[in-house]
Amino acid sequence: MNGDEEFFDAVTGFDSDNSSGDFSEANQRVTRGVHVDTSQSNGIGKAGERPPQENGIQKHRTCLPAPMFTRSDFSVWSVLKRCIGLELSKITMPVAFNEPLSFLQRITEYMEHVHLVHRASRQPQALDRMQCVAAFAVSAVASQWERTGKPFNPLLGETYELIREDLGFRFISEQVSHHPPISAFYSESLYHDFLFHGSIYPKLKFWGKSVEAEPRGTITLELLQHNEAYTWTNPTCCVHNVIIGKLWIEQYGTVEILNHRTGDKCVLHFKPCGLFGKELHKVEGHIQDKNKRKLFVIYGKWTEGLWGIDPAAYESFRKQGRRGDALRKAQQDDGAEKADSDVVDAVPEVQETVQVIPGSKLLWRVNTRPPNSAQMYNFTSFTVSLNELRTGMEKILAPTDCRLRPDIRGMENGNMDLASQEKERLEEKQREARRARAQAEAEWQTRWFRQGRNPHTGTPDWLYAGGYFERDFSGCPDIY
């Protein structure tokens, strides 16, 4: 098979025991929400056939159909030993690496804390709006904590839609390119206060002991009532000890959020783990105006929450802290043993929660995960609902929606053998379709997005072409 024929997410030769079994459901109640009339646009459900409701808000499932399988008997090294230093999008990966979601659904997890965007839109001051946008940007990666499974790579033409009346948004995404893999998304507020869109080109590399994911691509948030646009890129994610030892995750890199109307910028530093794990999960940064004058300091952890404070108060607190650190350093035991870094990347000890500086403002706090999250690939409550297929939905969704993808459905139901077989079948079907297009000298045509330039940065981007929620799916490709 040549490079053009190779599929980066194919499944070959993996068999497993069926992982289905008893699974307890944790009850979760919807406590608040607002009613939004989207009956003219969302097309989900028919009159008199609404899904279960509580206090007027649709209820979503709180557990998966089957618990996650164990990876303990699977030899990761047998697959990865040929991948060191390579870009993983061109390496065939077995289903044992996956979690039962498409990457399109993983992108949708950006919307879990969408209340921060609604809050930003209500703020009269630009500084307060930037604080909310910064919190939203950090919250978008919070669901990745302890998520060591890889989402399924989308098939070319695959789509995913989500409408959440209780959270006030609707969302559509499409896999617009296969080589390189590019996922485009678009979301709009049901209250008409924001647009959120972008295209993601993930670069994955294996470095021997770790897998690094660099999410290239620009993310754009528009606050319509303020005529403001904010753009940024996400930090790099790294999964350690993929061969041996306990898996653990860190995010690192600098995220710069630019307000294109005012020139204000938020610079956030996602700290790498550092020696003894002292910096693990930490985020520190500031908001500055167009003249680079610091207006506000932000600190916290992407796994826990974010706080902010006046720069002068922050510097005063840091000076006091440095004096205390010098005293503690003098008392440290120099005989502490060091982990053997040649074998594993030592798992950092659990660090203390964020030390909140007196006078700080809480910007965002992570949602508590369901009690059975560890049995569900460490999904959040929001994530658990993403692949839910309620009765009658298959008649409403686009035929390319990844809820209808049989390999992901098989894995979610605990049938690993079926998931493996279906994944291989789907990707061979896509290879055949590509060969047929090549023979006919036909170009692949995206359905819901078009290539263009980001209207705020001028850089190449994929822009929503409109029309999805009119639900004319007659020209959708048969990819499943």
The whole-number mean pLDDT for each consecutive block of 10 residues of the chain, a chain of 480 residues, reads 39 34 34 36 41 63 89 56 56 79 97 98 98 97 85 96 97 95 97 97 75 85 98 84 71 92 97 77 96 97 96 92 51 41 51 85 95 92 96 95 97 94 94 95 96 96 97 95
Model pLDDT, residue 265 = 98
Model pLDDT, residue 327 = 41
Whether 9 contacts 423, CB under 8 Å: yes
Whole-angstrom CA distances from 292 to 53, 283, 287, 295, 308 are 50, 20, 9, 9, 18
Tokens describing residue 282? 């930490």
Strand partners, 130: none
Return the amino acid letter for 185.
F
Model pLDDT, residue 424 = 92
Half-sphere exposure (CA, 13 Å, Cβ side) for 203?
Answer: 10
Q: How far apart are CA 337 and CA 75, in angstroms?
A: 30
Model pLDDT, residue 388 = 97
Q: How far apart are CA 290 and CA 311, in angstroms?
A: 17
Extended beta strands in 153-193, E state: 159-164, 169-177, 182-189
Whether 204 contacts 216, CB under 8 Å: no
Query: Which parts of 238-333 fold into alpha helices (H)?
Result: 311-330
Model pLDDT, residue 82 = 56
Exposed / middle / buried, residue 90 (Cβ in 10 Å: 0-12, 13-18, 19+): middle
Whether 247 contacts 148, CB under 8 Å: yes
Q: How far apart are CA 463 and CA 346, in angstroms?
A: 42
Q: Structure pTM?
A: 0.81
